[in-house]
Structure 1
């Protein structure tokens, strides 16, 4: 017999969530099977903010099996109940806005502004998901066979595995978890070891409070050294019907090799071009390019990695751009005036510095820079390189506060440079002629292009995803609805059919 879940309601938001040193499996908050923990570090101070439980492969298997069993009952619930759970979760996120911002600042070095934007987008995704349970439609199709009726039913897939990153963890987790659950699936979530709270455990608390039944959402956390084993246990298991992964292209390739025959949506690396044509409003282009390159320290898959400027305005643009970037406040992410905070960890910083050094060695000009500072040594000031498309900071995704400016001879050259990459996630073009901008945008080999706007954009109801090595599949709106459901053709032969003679 199916038990109808009880929809929760927001509690006093002054009573903050606690107990983030546990896994969330089968509706229980418990330690990992081995009883081991790792530290969740604040990238600004370098200090631990909470111990995090380390899941074992056996914990993962238990989570998958529990999710499979729970999904069968959850799929039988009414669309109205699932919609109400999502609306309640959105209300809880609203009430706990400051609580999330505080965690985001401490756990991933988000500035207050970035954390606020992330909260807004994630909340929007939850409310958008509330409508999805009513948008699951089937079809009745004709047949050439007398007396036959063709029905196509749409149903939830089953268990969805979500592997999420650390840079916009709440947003990039919620965009899969919320619609998957709203559509009648269950979820096993593996957040990044760099953001286990904001990328997983916090959301589990929200959905638990909202009334999501035990087992419908599972969260398994881990240390860096466990990432491969835990990830492989999820992706190679036959239980998940779908894998939603956001992360590097190399890891994404590994998942496609290991996962077997499964459906998946992969949002992978990016190398976003920001194209400034000669007729662009320079002030608008400078601001948009600066935001694209340095929002959240450039640690966004959609960040502007290459700034391609037409020759007639190149020198004027560079002068204004350097002046703008020099003015961006750098420092403690908890200070509301800060725009650029620390990068996530030492490994990431070393990779950024290596690319900068190789760019200089290649002959590129390093026209704005500075050394890492701050209590943890992870605060890197904004860096500007002038080079070409082969400069290491342009040819590779930097994922840090670095932008490479490239001169284009004309519009055709700018388009050639923009497309000369293996990636194709986000992009932008600035021009004084919107129609010209749209024509240009249609020729960029990317999943998303923004005319006269920054490259890091996302809305819950719009198709989000990349081309080429930037991934496959789409998130958002009707596109994610189709990803997280399956169709079943059932034919009904209403009159006897004569098979022989």
Structure 2
């Protein structure tokens, strides 16, 4: 980890056209566990964004990258090895800058994302880039027809702050496997983690200049430049639904392909035959994972009306056992929120929920120093209220009573979102029947884990467009060309 001459903490550089460069100015990155400046990132402007797009365009149009499968496999192998070799440096950086708990870095914050690169390197070795459609006879001649799958072009990949390694690699690895070139824009709150990835690419792989460019910026104009640039063919964005709508509108000017992984307000349904103790613990610890800063977390807990108080008490008891604090401590389960601004947003929503009639069972308090917020449980929540309809992005669980199974399904589907969900019940067939009625892109039955490199991830409704990871994640970055030739 580099420090500047004044000892101001970690300092990283942009990657543009194969060179690690500084910008004319920097901005601070804060450690959310302390609220103190952790390091400084280059504050790229529109000029740097345009230079990065130009480099990506040249690399796509004027080099063999898109057509050389062997080169792409070798480079992905090298990237995977570099990530493995520098895993501990990345771990400490992720803990410090993202506020991720150390135990989470052994899963979806770091080690699981590294496996995504391995998955796409292996998939590229065997994935069929052509498909025969067979011959037909037309006008007295035989015609051979086939499909070829080609790289989609220049990709602008725009990241949020919550899982910087996961989201960067879930975009970058399949894009590179497909033969695309990429401009990767870090989240303003976690720039150093993403810039570190750029440094590994520059220093430890044979990825040609311009194929991967990595930017950090506090300027909204940089994101706007990437989403509207005529030389960008595909926009891959993860973030809020509100910003996703803006990106989709901006991309329409040049009819770019758009992948959007957006917000969620997922419901966990506890059926009347469920193991209430297991379900309560699952619900409590899920909402506290990464301080609730996950779009697919189940933030609404739907419980039988007659068991509302019993289950609420069990969830509250489990929440009291959640250890929060220093994310570097191996025993810590939950770290801080990313910023004071985010903590204020979460606290404001909790206060409004109580004013609207919800019962505050536990939590609802800020904890200093840093940006910590106590695990919070709200009961007797109106399913149409703000806290039940809007994404909180904090450790806040809303308990909603339902009358019967039909009512539970109706409430679960009563959302503009459709990213994930869960159901708990001892009758597996009944639980599966309920799962199939919920309009979401992913779903967990009795704690089943759907999140892995080979499993497509994405949402229904306003939770987004397209899929990330799996074979489908690769195909987001491919174009289909249909060819025909007269058979001699």
* TM-score computed with the length of structure 1 as normaliser: 0.91
Q: Shift in Å at residue 334 of structure 1?
A: 1.3
- Relative to structure 1, the CA distance from residue 477 to residue 205 in structure 2 (aligned partners, 3 Å threshold; closer, same or farther) is same
Match of 1:174 among 169, 193, 198: 169
Q: Is the 8 A contact 2:29 2:189 kept in 1?
A: yes
State which drifts further: 71-80 or 334-343.
71-80
Whether 1:44 aligns to 2:27 is no
Whether 1:273 aligns to 2:263 is no
Q: Is the 8 A contact 2:12 2:195 kept in 1?
A: no
Whether 1:485 aligns to 2:478 is yes
Q: Distance in 2 between matches of 1:79 and 1:312?
A: 60
Corresponding pairs, count: 472
Q: Is the 8 A contact 1:302 1:426 kept in 2?
A: yes
Q: What is the DSSP-based 3-state SS (H/G/I as helix, E as strand, rest coil) of the residue aligned with 1:415?
A: helix
Q: Shift in Å at residue 76 of structure 1?
A: 5.0
Q: What is the DSSP-based 3-state SS (H/G/I as helix, E as strand, rest coil) of the residue aligned with 2:230?
A: coil
Q: Distance in 2 between matches of 1:205 and 1:74?
A: 23
Q: Is the 8 A contact 1:74 1:185 kept in 2?
A: no
Q: Distance in 1 between matches of 2:326 and 2:296?
A: 24
Q: Distance in 2 between matches of 1:416 and 1:75?
A: 49
- Relative to structure 1, the CA distance from residue 76 to residue 401 in structure 2 (aligned partners, 3 Å threshold; closer, same or farther) is closer
Match of 1:24 among 15, 27, 46: 15
Q: What is the DSSP-based 3-state SS (H/G/I as helix, E as strand, rest coil) of the residue aligned with 1:80?
A: helix
In structure 2, the residue matched to 1:137 is 129
In structure 2, the residue matched to 1:203 is 197
Q: Shift in Å at residue 88 of structure 1?
A: 2.4
In structure 1, the residue matched to 2:114 is 123
Q: CA RMSD in A?
A: 1.6
In structure 1, the residue matched to 2:155 is 160
Q: Shift in Å at residue 156 of structure 1?
A: 0.8
In structure 1, the residue matched to 2:335 is 341
Matches within 5 A, 1:66-77: 66-72=55-61, 73-75=63-65
In structure 2, the residue matched to 1:114 is 104
Matches within 5 A, 1:382-393: 382-386=375-379, 387-393=381-387
Q: Is the 8 A contact 1:26 1:66 kept in 2?
A: yes
Match of 2:436 among 434, 439, 442: 442
Whether 1:221 aligns to 2:221 is no
State which drifts further: 70-79 or 436-445.
70-79
Q: Distance in 1 between matches of 2:434 and 2:463?
A: 20
In structure 2, the residue matched to 1:59 is 48
Q: Is the 8 A contact 1:289 1:454 kept in 2?
A: no
- Relative to structure 1, the CA distance from residue 327 to residue 65 in structure 2 (aligned partners, 3 Å threshold; closer, same or farther) is same
State which drifts further: 107-116 or 442-451.
107-116
Q: Shift in Å at residue 269 of structure 1?
A: 0.6
Q: Distance in 1 between matches of 2:188 and 2:201?
A: 21
Match of 1:373 among 367, 370, 381: 367
Q: Shift in Å at residue 308 of structure 1?
A: 0.5
Q: Is the 8 A contact 1:23 1:31 kept in 2?
A: yes
Q: Is the 8 A contact 2:65 2:72 kept in 1?
A: no
Q: Distance in 2 between matches of 1:380 and 1:299?
A: 12
In structure 1, the residue matched to 2:82 is 92
Q: Shift in Å at residue 144 of structure 1?
A: 4.1
State which drifts further: 309-318 or 343-352.
309-318
In structure 1, the residue matched to 2:417 is 423
Gapped regions of structure 1 (runs ≥ 5): 1-15, 496-501
Q: Is the 8 A contact 2:284 2:316 kept in 1?
A: no
Q: Shift in Å at residue 370 of structure 1?
A: 4.4
Q: Shift in Å at residue 17 of structure 1?
A: 6.5
Q: Deviations over 1:124-149 (max 9, x none)?
A: 11101102323142122233413211
In structure 2, the residue matched to 1:81 is 71
Q: Shift in Å at residue 235 of structure 1?
A: 0.6
Q: Is the 8 A contact 1:278 1:310 kept in 2?
A: yes
